[in-house]
């Protein structure tokens, strides 16, 4: 296994009209599972394809272990890639599909290749499928074959490009667990691209969030969830999404308040960090729905919609354009009710007015 290091990686298309990847630097540690996530078109696949050698970088370097592989072809890189569409040869059997890479890239003899394929088939729980053709298989089975084909070569690095997107929800969850088990057993260094933030949260040792080709934040999922560096990350990671309120600071006798001039939101800051905020400054305040309580509080809001989702109720309030409290199912206000609103002090994130950077990390409130 090996580290993967990206140094100021850049990719332009159409003579520079499109910047798909913009100056990305990061290191995937040996044996680490890095989930790369972001909305459609943010440059995830292009980044992965540059690591694989399927796309040539416009600028910057790619290292696998200590080796600079930037100018090496895909064949010469010790990586295996698993795609969304499985990319199996339709006229080869499962065995032949899994064996093909070994045939091309090693000088193992037939018996040795068979042994490896059988080992990988066992790992993927598909030994009984080895003589089948891909068109006889379900989507989940095809993806097991594709994974088996990747592990059979025991490469340094595994690259996954949305491998579970074609599967139904139940199978997706099952295969997530399967891939995590594989990673655990084989101690894989893996880069896993997905647009699904929940998949990234549950699978990644760390997650990297991209937007418009630019790396926004890299960190363990919990850390990113609790401490997003900007409002985009706060809004993208987590479901239901983080609430955002435009607010202005006012100095009061015993501290600072953040108030929304256009709505009922009011938060009194008691931490010394509040002092870092500019008086009469404009900010974007972020708060997770589960950190909003409607039992008592400093201001009142009107209930607009109540969405029961089983264990919880999502209570939409007229605090900002879109603002919801995630409360337990036994808290059931009626539409039109006026409820008091309260936050955990430590749960507030205060960003600059544009939401581009967090300004008060360990925030506060009444
Ligand atoms: P998705 O989740 O939709 O696959 P993505 O995050 O993987 O998106 P990329 O496929 O890496 O994004 O694309 C990033 C940007 O580069 C997009 O604007 C895309 O249209 C553009 N792009 C990608 N490949 C090419 C290409 N071969 N020629 C021109 N533009 C391209």
The first and second tokens of residue 199, run together, are: 């998949």
DSSP state of 129: G
> How confident is the model at residue 364, as a pLDDT?
37
CATH number of 241-364: 2.40.50.140
- The residues, ordered by sequence, that sit 6+ positions from 116 with a Cβ below 8 Å of its Cβ are 102, 108, 152
Cα 83 to averaged position of ligand 1 atoms, centre (Å)? 15
Report whether residue 167 contacts ligand 1, using a CB cutoff of 6 Å: no
pLDDT tens, position by position, for the chain (366 residues)? 699 999 999 999 999 999 999 999 999 999 999 999 999 999 999 999 999 999 999 999 999 999 999 999 998 898 998 888 888 999 999 999 999 988 888 889 999 999 999 999 998 889 999 999 999 998 889 989 998 998 898 888 999 999 888 888 888 888 898 888 888 888 889 999 999 999 999 999 999 999 999 999 999 999 999 999 999 999 999 999 999 999 999 877 667 888 999 999 998 887 766 777 888 889 999 999 999 999 888 899 999 999 999 999 999 999 998 999 999 999 999 999 999 999 877 788 999 999 998 887 543 333
| 41 ligand 1 Cβ < 6 A | yes
- Tell which atom from ligand 1 comes closest to the C-alpha of 43: 11
Residue 195, ligand 1, Cβ within 6 A: yes
- Which of the 8 DSSP states describes residue 74? G
Question: 13 CB under 6 A from ligand 1?
Answer: yes
CB contact at 8 A, 312 and 327: yes
Q: How far apart are CA 111 and CA 339, in angstroms?
A: 72
**Does ligand 1 come within 6 angstroms of the Cβ of 42?**
yes
Q: For residue 193, report the distance from its CA to the centre of ligand 1, in Å.
A: 13
Q: Who contacts 15 (Cβ-Cβ below 8 Å, separation ≥6)?
A: none
Structure tokens at 324: 């919801």
Residue 182's SS3 state is helix
Ligand 1, closest atom to CA 49? 11
Is the CB of 24 within 6 Å of ligand 1?
Answer: no
CA dihedral 196, 129, 188, 218 (to 10 degrees): -10
Q: Are 244 and 231 in contact (CB under 8 A)?
A: yes
Nearest ligand 1 atom to the CA of 21 is 14
For atom 2 of ligand 1, the residue with the nearest CA is: 40
Q: Measured from the CB, is residue 243 less than 6 Å from ligand 1? A: no
Would the CB of 194 count as within 6 Å of ligand 1?
no
Pocket flag, ligand 1, residue 20 (CB < 6 Å): yes
Tell me, using a 6 A CB cutoff, whether residue 89 lines ligand 1.
no
Measured between alpha carbons, how far is 205 from 30 in angstroms, rounded to an integer?
Answer: 12
Best mutation site among 43, 50, 161 for ligand 1, i.e. most ligand atoms within 8 A of its Cβ? 43
Q: Is 45 in the pocket of ligand 1 (CB under 6 A)?
A: yes
**Residue 273 has what pLDDT?**
61
State whether the beta carbon of 43 lies less than 6 angstroms from ligand 1. yes
| Full strand arrangement of the beta sheet holding 324-328 | 292-293, 338-343, 299-308, 312-317, 324-328
What's the CATH number of domain 4-235, 3.40.50.970, 3.30.1360.40, 3.40.50.300, 2.40.30.10?
3.40.50.300
What pLDDT is attached to residue 272? 64
Strand partners, 192: 35, 160
Q: Distance from the CA of 231 to the center of ligand 1, in angstroms? A: 23
Domain boundaries, the chain: 4-235, 241-364
Give, using CA atoms, the residue closest to atom 31 of ligand 1. Answer: 13
Please tell me if the CB atom of residue 46 comes closer than 6 angstroms to any atom of ligand 1. yes
> Using an 8 Å Cβ cutoff, are 4 and 28 in contact?
yes
Ligand 1, closest atom to CA 210?
6
How far does residue 204's CA lie from ligand 1's centre (Å)?
Answer: 23
Determine the distance separating the centroid of ligand 1 and the alpha carbon of 18, expressed in angstroms.
9
CA distance 219 to 122: 34
Q: Which of 46, 47, 165, 166 to mutate to test the pocket of ligand 1 (most atoms within 8 A of CB)?
A: 46
- The predicted model scores a pTM of 0.91
Adjacent-strand bridge partners of 19: 12
Atom of ligand 1 nearest to the CA of 195: 2
């Amino acid at each position: 296994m090996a580290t993967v290091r990206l140094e100021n990686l850049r990719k332009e298309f159409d003579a520079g009209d499109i910047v798909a990847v913009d100056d990305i630097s990061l290191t995937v540690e040996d044996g680490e599972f890095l989930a790369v996530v972001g909305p459609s078109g943010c440059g995830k696949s292009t980044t992965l394809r540059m690591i694989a050698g399927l796309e040539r970088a416009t600028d910057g370097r790619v290292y696998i272990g200590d080796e600079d592989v930037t100018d090496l072809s895909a064949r010469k890189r010790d990586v295996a890639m698993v795609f969304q569409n499985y990319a199996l040869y339709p006229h080869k059997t499962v065995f032949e599909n899994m064996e093909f890479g070994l045939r091309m890239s090693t000088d193992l003899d037939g018996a040795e290749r068979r042994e490896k394929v059988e080992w990988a088939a066992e790992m993927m729980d598909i030994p009984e499928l080895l003589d089948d053709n891909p068109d006889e298989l379900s989507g989940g089975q095809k993806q097991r074959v594709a994974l088996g084909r990747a592990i059979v070569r025991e490469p340094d690095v595994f690259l996954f490009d949305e491998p579970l997107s074609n599967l139904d929800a139940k199978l997706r969850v099952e295969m997530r667990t399967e891939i995590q088990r594989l990673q655990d057993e084989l101690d894989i260094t893996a880069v896993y691209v997905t647009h699904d933030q929940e998949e990234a949260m549950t699978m990644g040792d760390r997650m990297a969030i991209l937007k418009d080709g630019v790396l926004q934040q890299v960190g363990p999922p919990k850390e990113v969830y609790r401490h997003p560096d900007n409002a985009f990350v706060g809004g993208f990671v987590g479901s239901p999404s983080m609430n955002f309120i435009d607010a202005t600071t006012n100095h009061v006798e015993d501290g600072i308040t953040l108030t929304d001039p256009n709505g009922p939101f009011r938060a009194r800051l008691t931490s010394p960090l509040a002092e870092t905020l500019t008086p009469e400054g404009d900010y974007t305040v972020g708060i997770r729905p589960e950190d909003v309580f409607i039992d008592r509080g400093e201001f009142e809001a009107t209930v607009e919609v109540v969405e029961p989702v089983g264990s919880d109720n999502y209570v939409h309030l007229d605090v900002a354009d879109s603002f919801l409290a995630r409360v337990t199912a036994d808290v059931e206000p009626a539409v039109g009710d006026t409820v008091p609103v309260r936050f955990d002090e430590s749960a507030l994130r205060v960003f600059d007015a544009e939401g581009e950077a967090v300004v008060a990390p360990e925030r506060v409130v009444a």
